């Protein structure tokens, strides 16, 4: 299948020094792809590079064949890519429903179908739609963040460590919801600290180390790989 998102030989970083030294990855439509790797491998950086949140010095990012390298974030959002940052990913002083409304900021017309879809994926949120997002638990806040991003009906959702700091129960729930989202036709690219669990649940995975591709393959293949295991899965 033709890839939905393709990152080719990407070089870049925040300041003068490069953190990414030629990263290649692709995501097919309705596929869950996970990026794992040791600390400092450039996982989150690779994700931010898609969103133009750092200096790109080489390579390209395409979505549906269109080169989006260096675009402004709001144009990338319009192109169908939504990004959920790891921290500060909700509007704390706004209600759950208003957070979703902000997610749909670029859309006009009737949004009831979009609300139904998001509240269908996250029944917890429907109950607490009038609550301030800042008053929710960490897991529920992550759901608000994902819901906000889904309001634009993106083609691909980027999740930066969605399970960081969550209990195993919530981690499982986030993974389950991610599968549900994938089943509605949305591709997901996520960065994960919990490599074992993430590889077990994803369709495919990439292992990054020192800003380069180290391994790639299906989740099961990577879990079975000796080198991957030795590197950071704790044997």
Pick the binder of another protein from 73, 120, 138, 185 (CB under 8 A): 73
Q: How far is it, in rounded angstroms, from Cα 85 to Cα 95?
A: 19
Residue 51 sits in the site that holds another protein (CB under 8 A): yes
Q: What is the distance between the alpha carbons of residues 205 and 201, in angstroms, rounded to a whole number?
A: 10
Q: Which of 28, 78, 172, 233 binds another protein (CB under 8 A)?
A: 78
Bridge partners of 209?
212
Could you say whether residue 115 binds another protein (CB under 8 A)? no
Work out which of 101, 124, 216, 225 binds another protein, going by CB under 8 A. Answer: 101
Q: How far apart are the first and last CA of the chain?
A: 34
Structure tokens belonging to residue 68:
């989006």
8 A C-beta contact, residue 212 and residue 22 = yes
Q: Choose which of 27, 49, 68, 77 interacts with another protein (CB under 8 A).
A: 77
The interface with another protein within residues 194-233 (CB under 8 A) comprises none
Query: Which helix (H) or strand (E) segment is 171 a member of?
Result: helix 168-183
Binding part of the chain for another protein, among 16-24, 83-91, 111-119, 190-198 by CB under 8 A, reads 83-91
Q: Site for another protein (CB under 8 A): which residue of 16, 88, 110, 183? A: 88
Q: Which is nearer to another protein, 25 or 145 (CB)?
A: 145
Taking each helix axis as running N to C, give the angle between helix 96-103 and helix 112-121, from 0 to 180 degrees, rounded to the nearest 10.
120
Distance in Å, CB of 88 to another protein, minimum: 6
Is the distance from CB of 156 to CB of 27 less than 8 angstroms?
Answer: yes
Task: Give backbone dihedrals phi and psi of 181, rounded to 5 degrees, phi first.
Answer: -65, -45
Q: Which of 92, 137, 180, 230 binds another protein (CB under 8 A)?
A: 92
Among 58, 62, 98, 117, binds another protein (CB under 8 A): 98
Strands in 81-84's sheet, in edge-to-edge order, are: 81-84, 156-160, 187-191, 32-36, 204-209, 212-218
Q: Is 71 one of the binding residues for another protein (CB under 8 A)? A: no
Residues that bind another protein (CB under 8 A): 51, 73-74, 77-78, 82-83, 85, 88-94, 98, 101-103, 105-106, 148, 152
């Amino acid at each position: 299948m033709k890839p939905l998102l393709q990152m080719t030989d990407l070089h870049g970083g925040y300041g003068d020094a490069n953190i990414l030294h030629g990263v290649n990855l692709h995501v097919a439509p309705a596929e869950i792809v996970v990026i794992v790797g040791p600390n400092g491998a450039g996982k989150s950086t690779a994700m931010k590079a898609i969103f133009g949140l750092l200096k790109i010095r080489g390579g390209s990012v395409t979505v549906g064949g269109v080169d989006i390298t260096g675009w402004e974030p709001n144009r990338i959002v319009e192109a169908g890519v939504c990004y959920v940052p790891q921290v500060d990913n909700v509007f704390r002083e706004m209600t759950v429903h208003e957070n979703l409304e902000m997610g749909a900021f670029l859309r006009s017309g009737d949004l009831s179908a979009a609300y139904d879809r998001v509240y269908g994926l996250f029944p917890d949120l429907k109950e607490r739609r009038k609550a301030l997002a800042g008053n929710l638990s960490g897991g529920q806040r992550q759901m608000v963040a994902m819901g906000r991003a889904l309001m634009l009906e993106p083609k691909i959702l980027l999740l930066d460590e969605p399970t960081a700091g969550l209990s195993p129960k919530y981690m499982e729930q986030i993974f389950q919801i991610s599968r549900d989202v994938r089943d509605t036709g949305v591709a997901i690219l996520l960065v994960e600290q919990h490599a074992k669990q993430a590889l077990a649940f994803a369709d495919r995975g990439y292992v990054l180390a020192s800003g380069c591709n180290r391994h790639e393959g299906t989740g099961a293949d990577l879990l079975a790989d000796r080198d991957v295991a030795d590197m950071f899965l704790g044997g």
